Amino acid sequence: MKNFLRHAAVGLMLACAATGHAQQPYPSKPIRVVVAFTAGGTTDILAREVAQQMSKALGQSVVVENRPGAGGNIGTDFVGRSDADGYTLLATSVGPVAINPTLYRKLKVNPQTDLQAVAPIADVPNVLVVYPGLPVKSVQDLVAYAKTHPNGLNFGSTGVGTAAHLSGVLFNERTGAKTTHVPYKGADALNDLLAGRVQFMFATIPSVISHIRGGQLRAIAVTSRKRSSALPDVPTMAEAGVPNLVTGAWFGLFAPKGTPPEIVVRLNKIVTDALSQPEMRGRFAQQGAESMNMTADAFGKFVAAEYLTWKPVVISSGARID
């Protein structure tokens, strides 16, 4: 009888401990936000802004950790295989989530099925920038130069199948220009553009705006439907004579599939509230980014629609990676 009571008491203590642990308020420890790209890029810049606001709202450290490589797949794989407890999140962009499932023949983690959309962060149009030593000051100048120098112009990108690459493919298709794609890894593309080793590039506005303002690059068009408040004097592609070339990058926060809905809803509200602050919106606007506002469910539907939008573009480009 004594043994029975002793075992019963131990069992009760363990049950109470387990219950107490399960009822710990979220978050009870630091949260990790994995950025699938290198430090200093657009995803990293936006993620750190959001992480700072999340930390204030949650009263807990939110640590940004860069895990770049394989077009964003390394960071995506890491988060997709992490515990679905709200302590490991992914800050990423359109590429790994909406383009890579078509671009890559094999993915360890399929973002469309293995991730939970949490909250969008920002929509960022691309800007067409040229090396200032190139004798062009407009899109029409660039097209004319390309046609008189077939295959004489190279455009850089941050990798095969990225939005920057596919924007260049669409540019060639829409204008009849024949230019050559040169893929790079991360920031190497921008470095070679600044050095004149490639002549033009479609880049997100935040990643090049300081170089535009400093005169190291010339902006000749933005790929949004309306002009960017950060570059009000730069025409849209449509205004420059190339309709139907609207591309860009959106950025968002994701969690492993199976993350408790109440955590997803709470994180969505925190991010949405932060992005609604005039100060934050102003900082984003100065960098050419426009904050986005959606529920987690709406963001998930948006991501699925983006996958369907980019799929035929990837297929027509002929880009495939094993």
Q: What pLDDT, in 10s, does the model give residues 263-313? A: 999 999 999 999 999 999 988 888 888 899 999 999 999 999 999 989 998
pLDDT at 10: 45
Is 49's pLDDT higher than 60? yes
* Complete DSSP assignment for 118-156: EEEEEEEEEEEEE-TTSS--SHHHHHHHHHHSTT--EEE
Residue whose C-alpha is closest to residue 285's, from 164, 163, 129, 122: 122
Q: What are the pLDDT digits (tens) for 109-158? A: 999 999 999 999 999 989 999 999 999 999 999 999 999 998 899 999 98
CB 154 within 8 A of CB 182: yes
pLDDT at 84: 97
Is 20's pLDDT higher than 50? no
CA separation for the pair 115, 253 (Å, rounded):
10
Average pLDDT over residues 193-205: 95
pLDDT confidence band for 94 (50 / 70 / 90)? very high
pLDDT at 263: 97
Is 15's pLDDT higher than 80? no
CB atoms within 10 A of CB 146: 23
Q: For residue 17, what are the contacts with CB-CB under 8 A and spacing of at least 6?
A: none
pLDDT confidence band for 5 (50 / 70 / 90)? very low
Average pLDDT over residues 221-246: 93
pLDDT at 21: 45
Is 181's pLDDT higher than 60? yes
Per domain, the residue ranges of the chain are 29-123+249-317, 125-222
pLDDT at 317: 87
- Whole-model pTM: value is 0.81
pLDDT at 287: 80
- Domains 29-123+249-317 and 125-222 are alike in CATH topology: yes
CA separation for the pair 310, 305 (Å, rounded):
9
Average pLDDT value for the chain: 90
Q: Residue holding tokens 């807990």?
A: 60
pLDDT at 247: 87
Is 18's pLDDT higher than 60? no
> In the chain, what is the greatest distance between 2 CA atoms, to the nearest angstrom?
97
pLDDT confidence band for 23 (50 / 70 / 90)? low
Half-sphere exposure of 132 (CA within 13 A, CB side): 9
pLDDT at 19: 46
Half-sphere exposure of 120 (CA within 13 A, CB side): 22
Superfamily of segment(s) 125-222: Periplasmic binding protein-like II (3.40.190.10)
Domain 29-123+249-317 fold is D-Maltodextrin-Binding Protein; domain 2 (3.40.190)
Choose between 20 and 142: higher pLDDT: 142
